[in-house]
Amino acid sequence: MSRIGKAPIKLPKGVEVKVSPSNLVTVKGPKGELQQQINPDIKINIENEEINISRPTDQKRHKALHGLYRALLNNMVFGVTNGYTVKQELVGVGYKAANDGNVLDLTLGYSHHIYFEIPKELKVKTEQEKGKNPIITLEGCDKQLIGQVAAKIRGLRKPEPYKGKGIKFVGEALRRKAGKTAAK
């Protein structure tokens, strides 16, 4: 039995969960509203401020879906109550970040500026203190969306292994390589 799938999801105060007949789950809370389509084989039971998920058989496919949908629903409940935050750091000489609403203006050492539009579901904030690397902060209630946008921003200039220049997550440990040594 899936250990993750068996665990019930506790519903905090202020969170409302609805399941439509077509297995569309809607989670509404103080930070927003999220929807997820669930496989018709998986059954969702809401009672006593808890969500329980069950599967019809012990097939490998049903076991995988059981744990998957429990994890997705748990992320949705956490997102609408607390929200998710991702911080990214720009490491490199002359690297800059600014935002105008939900449009991110990045200077990453290319011959031009990069304008990156952030989805309206997320909030973006940039900080640039003197003597420190610029930091981009993304906030939102959808864990999948925030991770995808952060990965796309990171992909604009991945950190390179020799000097560590590029866009990295705050606290990320980069694998560094030794450069060439002078031959004598």
Q: Report the CATH number that the domain containing residue 139 is assigned in CATH.
A: 3.90.930.12
Domain extent for 11: 3-81
pLDDT at residue 5 greater than cutoff 90: no
Q: Which of 33, 61, 81 is the last residue of a domain?
A: 81
pLDDT tens per residue, range 56-87 = 999 999 999 999 999 999 999 999 999 999 99
Strand (E) or helix (H) holding 85: strand 84-91
Cα radius of gyration (the chain)? 21
pLDDT at residue 1 greater than cutoff 50: no
DSSP per residue, 23-81? -EEEEEETTEEEEEE--TTSEEEEETTEEEEE-SS--HHHHHHHHHHHHHHHHHHHHHH
Query: Model pTM greater than 0.85?
Result: yes
Cβ-based burial of 96 (10 A; exposed 0-12, middle 13-18, buried ≥19):
middle
Same domain, 77 and 94: no
Query: Coil, strand, or helix at residue 134?
Result: coil
Same domain, 116 and 98: yes
What is the model's pLDDT at position 181? 79
Same domain, 72 and 88: no
3-state helix, strand, coil in the chain (%, to 5): 20, 35, 45
Name residue 19's beta-bridge partners: 25
Q: Is 95 within 8 Å of 107 (Cβ atoms)?
A: yes
Q: Is 69 within 8 Å of 96 (Cβ atoms)?
A: no
pLDDT tens per residue, range 109-158 = 999 999 999 999 999 999 998 999 999 999 999 999 999 999 999 999 99
Measured CA to CA in angstroms, residue 174 lies from 91, 93, 168, 177 at distances of: 12, 18, 8, 10
In a domain, 91, yes or no: yes
